[in-house]
Structure 1
Amino acid sequence: MTKKKLGILGGMGPKATSVFFEKIISNTVAHKDQDHLDMVILNHASLPDRTVSILENKKQEFLDAVRQDFMLFDQSGVSNIAIPCNTSHYLIEEMQSMTDINIINMVQGTVEYIRDKFGEHRKVAILATDGTIQSGVYENECKKHGIEPFVPNKELQQKVMQTIYKIKSDVDFKASEFESIINEVITKENCTDVILGCTELSCIDISEELKSYCVDPMDILVRLSITLSGKTTI
């Protein structure tokens, strides 16, 4: 496969974008600099909050803000665009209509990974922002593939959001706080799998035992980005 340049629309948030970039590097088979992907990273941190855009019906503000980004990617000769932000995928069809460059669908890729690896008839917990939950983007994709989605109750969802925004604001917190959420959906709700549906959650170092239940969309996006760019994953 011909080597292709990857565009990364980041800044949602910056820490998650940094983790995504590092994962691309560490998961690419490479023996020298020239073996790695050529990437154009736009850390557009000033983009409107995605959850606010959804909950307050202000999606046009977000779409107007990213329009220039797609023009820059086009000018840079990018072949595929990765967006390491789950919530923004609610608007993937509108974003795709703005550009002829393929936008890698992290949500679709994640659910297809679960179906292909574990089969149908799974009960999958979706841990994500209020915006992602409200949009139903993961729920709809799960149902499309014969997978039962589980959405946290109000109290549990509040804990998830507190975790996400603590990471965004660089506030210290214990990984055990988030691990208790994972443990609850597994033991009390009988979920077979857990989708870490916000890239901030990818920044948490959870135990290996609980990690075995988790599917990280960022990892899925990393692998799709590498292979679509003509490289091999480790």
Structure 2
Amino acid sequence: MEAKSLGVIGGMGPKATSVFFDMIIEQTEADKDQDHIDMVILNHATLPDRTGVILGKNGELFLKAVAKDLKLLESSGVYNIAIPCNTSHYFYDDMQQMTSVNIINMVDETLKEIHNRFGEHCKVGILATNGTVSSGVYRQGCEQYNMQLHEPDAAVQEHVMDIIYNKVKRNLPVEPAEFEGIINHLLIHDECQCVIIACTELSCIPIQNEVAKNCVDAMSVLVQKSIELSGKRSISS
């Protein structure tokens, strides 16, 4: 398969972009430098906060800022664009209309993976920013695949936002057990069959395999699809 370059709009946040890049490198089947994917990464950290513009109904601020990134990546000749930020996918249709380059739909690819693994009518918990949850992108997607989305109660959601904004984005350590406790609450107390890790900051937190087996990490899904569309093989495939 022909090798194709990948564009990345990052900076949402910078740590998550760094983890995404590392995962691409680690999971691409390669024996030498030349076997890896050519990538153009824009670490646009000053993009407006996605949750803020969604809740404040100021989406045009984000779209105006990201339009320059899309044009720059298109002019660089990339074949696909990955955006490792779940909340930004609220604007997916608007962004795709701004460029002729395919933008990988992380939300839809994640829901396809859940549907393939857990089937129709499964109850799916979501761990994400307030912006992603309130935007309804995962809720609408679950309905299309005949799956039931379960949103955390207010206390759990507040805890999730605290981890994202007051710890990971500030580059402060997070105890994996703290995050695993939230996941297990959704799996056991709320009786979800699967939990979507739908924030790339949360994807930066390592979790045990026993917990991870009932999770689908949207960033991991984006990594696998990015490798595939770039004409490379994944180590896990």
Distance in 2, matches of 1:211 and 1:232, equals 23
SS at match of 1:19: helix
Distance in 2, matches of 1:21 and 1:223, equals 12
Alignment of 1:38-77 (within 5 A): 38-77=38-77
Tell me whether 1:157 sits opposite 2:157 in the alignment: yes
Query: Which stretch shows the higher mean deviation, 110-119 or 217-226?
Result: 110-119
Distance in 1, matches of 2:174 and 2:17, equals 20
Letter in 1 for 2:209: E
Letter in 2 for 1:69: D
Tell me whether 1:16 sits opposite 2:16 in the alignment: yes
What is aligned with 2:216? 215
Tell me whether 1:224 sits opposite 2:225 in the alignment: yes
Distance in 2, matches of 1:153 and 1:17, equals 29
What is aligned with 1:193? 194
Letter in 2 for 1:121: H
Tell me, yes or no, if the aligned pair for 2:118 and 2:194 is still in contact at 8 Å. no
Query: Which stretch shows the higher mean deviation, 111-120 or 98-107?
Result: 111-120
Give the superposition deviation at 1:171.
2.2
Give the superposition deviation at 1:225.
0.4
| Structure 1 residues not aligned, in runs of 5+ | none
Q: TM-score, normalised by structure 1?
A: 0.98
Tell me, yes or no, if the aligned pair for 2:174 and 2:205 is still in contact at 8 Å. no
Tell me whether 1:178 sits opposite 2:176 in the alignment: no
Distance in 2, matches of 1:73 and 1:232, equals 23
Give the superposition deviation at 1:97.
0.6
Distance in 2, matches of 1:30 and 1:206, equals 26
SS at match of 2:3: coil
Give the superposition deviation at 1:51.
0.2
Q: State the Cα RMSD in Å.
A: 0.8
Percentage of matched positions with identical amino acids? 55
Distance in 2, matches of 1:221 and 1:201, equals 14
* Dislocated runs of 4+, deviation >6 Å: none
Letter in 2 for 1:100: S
Give the superposition deviation at 1:119.
1.4
Distance in 2, matches of 1:35 and 1:20, equals 18
Letter in 2 for 1:215: V
What is aligned with 1:79? 79
SS at match of 1:199: coil
What is aligned with 1:144? 144
Q: TM-score, normalised by structure 2?
A: 0.97
Alignment of 1:80-95 (within 5 A): 80-95=80-95
Give the superposition deviation at 1:15.
0.4
Alignment of 1:111-122 (within 5 A): 111-122=111-122
Distance in 1, matches of 2:35 and 2:169, equals 32
Distance in 1, matches of 2:232 and 2:206, equals 27
Tell me whether 1:105 sits opposite 2:105 in the alignment: yes
| Structure 2 residues not aligned, in runs of 5+ | none
SS at match of 1:89: helix
Distance in 1, matches of 2:38 and 2:173, equals 34
SS at match of 1:126: strand
Letter in 1 for 2:226: S
